[in-house]
Amino acid sequence: MRTQGVKAFALRVVKVSAEPTDRVRHPTRGVVVLCYHRVEGGSRRQLDLARDTFDAQMGALAAGPGVVTLDAALALLALPVPPPHDPVVVTFDDGTADFADHAVPVLERHRVPATLYLATAFVEEQRPMSHDARPLTWAALKDALSTGLVTVGSHTHTHRLLDRAPAAIVADELDRSVGLIGERLGVDASHFAYPKAVAGSPEAERAVRTRFRSAALAGTRANPYGRTDRYRLARSPIQVADGMRWFDAKTRGGLRLEDDVRRALNRLRYAKATT
C-alpha cells in the first residue's frame, strides 16, 4: 500500500508539472486516441479504473464535440484541412474479462464506440493475464461485437515485444492473432497496437504495415491532421490518478510532459522484458 501511495504521489507531481508546460508548449490540434486497460478489475493498479470514474469519463465524451471510431478517425487524419472539432477515439488493450463485464455496459449506455486490441493467446487458452487478470472468452467477445460499438484489433498473440523478436516469431505473433480473431469472431483484425507501446524493430514494423491499416504506440498528445503516420498513432493512457481534471486535459491533447517522463522510465523498465 505504501508503494502504491508513493507512486500515486509521484504521478500527481508529474501531472501538476505538466499543466504549466502545456501552456508553454501548447497542444496541437488533431485526433486524440485514449488508451484504457481495465475497468473495475480489482487490481488497484493505476491502469485499473473504477466503473463510476469510467462512466463519468464516457459521459463527458458523449456530451462533447465528438467521439468517433478508429476508422473514422483515420479518414479525418488524412484530411489536409482540420474538421471543425477535434474528435476523440477510445481504445482498450489486452482483453481482460472486465472489458465485457464493466466497460461494454458503460459504452452501450453512452453509445461510445471503442477498439479493443486483443492478445489472443490468453483468450484461446484461458490463461491468466498480467496480475492474474481473468481473460475474456470468445463468447463474451461475440456479445461485445453484437453491440455494434466494438472493433477488435490485434495486440499480438502472446503480448510479445516486437523490438527484440526474430522475424519468424514476429510473423507468427501477428498471423496467429489475426487468424484467431477471424476464425473465432468472423471479423478482420485491421488495426494493431504494439504491446507495452514499444515500437517494433524495422523488420517488425514492415510486417505490421503489410498486415494492418493502422498501428498504435504511446504518446500523450494529439495526432495532427494531414501529417500523422497511421502506423505510429499516439495514444494517451488514462490512469486512476487522472480523475476528471487530467482526463479532460488529455482529451485536449495535453500532459505531454507525462509522456516524456514515462518514455524515460520505460526504457529502463522493459530493458530485459520479452512480453
- Who wins on pLDDT, 135 or 257? 135
Q: Which residues contact 21 (CB under 8 A, 6 or more apart)?
A: 256, 257
Taken as a whole, the chain contains a residue count of: 275
Q: What is the mean pLDDT of residues 84-90?
A: 95
Q: Answer yes or no: are the C-beta atoms of 91 and 193 closer than 8 Å.
A: yes
Q: Specify the higher pLDDT residue, 11 or 104.
A: 104
With bands split at pLDDT 50, 70 and 90, how would you rate the model's confidence at 28?
Answer: confident
Per-residue model confidence (pLDDT) at position 19: 60
Q: Closest by alpha carbon to 164, among 203, 117, 209?
A: 203
Q: Which three cell numbers stand for residue 198?
A: 514499444
- Reported as a single tens digit per residue, the pLDDT across 138-175 is 999 999 999 999 999 999 999 999 999 999 999 999 99
Q: What is the pLDDT of residue 81?
A: 86
Which pLDDT score is estimated for 79?
87
What confidence score (pLDDT) does residue 261 get?
Answer: 60
pLDDT at 67 over 90: yes
How high is the pLDDT of residue 271?
Answer: 58
Contact between 47 and 38 (Cβ < 8 Å): yes
pLDDT at residue 161, as a whole number: 96
Separation of alpha carbons 135 and 125, rounded Å? 9
Question: How much of the chain exceeds pLDDT 70, in percent?
Answer: 83
pLDDT mean over 11-38: 74
CA distance 236 to 273: 22
pLDDT at 8: 58
Q: What is the pLDDT of residues 172-203, one digit of tens each?
A: 999 999 999 999 999 999 999 999 999 999 99
Residue 25 has pLDDT above 80, yes or no: no
pLDDT greater at residue 5 or residue 64 = 64
Q: Quick one: cell of 125? A: 487458452
What pLDDT score was predicted for residue 262?
A: 61
In this predicted structure, the answer to whether residue 85 has a pLDDT above a threshold of 80 is yes
10 pLDDT tier (thresholds 50, 70, 90): low
The mean pLDDT of the chain is 90
- When pLDDT is averaged across residues 114-129 and rounded to a whole number, the result is 97
- Taking the alpha carbons at both ends of the chain, their separation in whole angstroms is 26
Residue 132 Cα distances to 83, 89, 115, 127, angstroms: 43, 28, 23, 9
pLDDT band at 254 (very low <50, low <70, confident <90, very high): confident
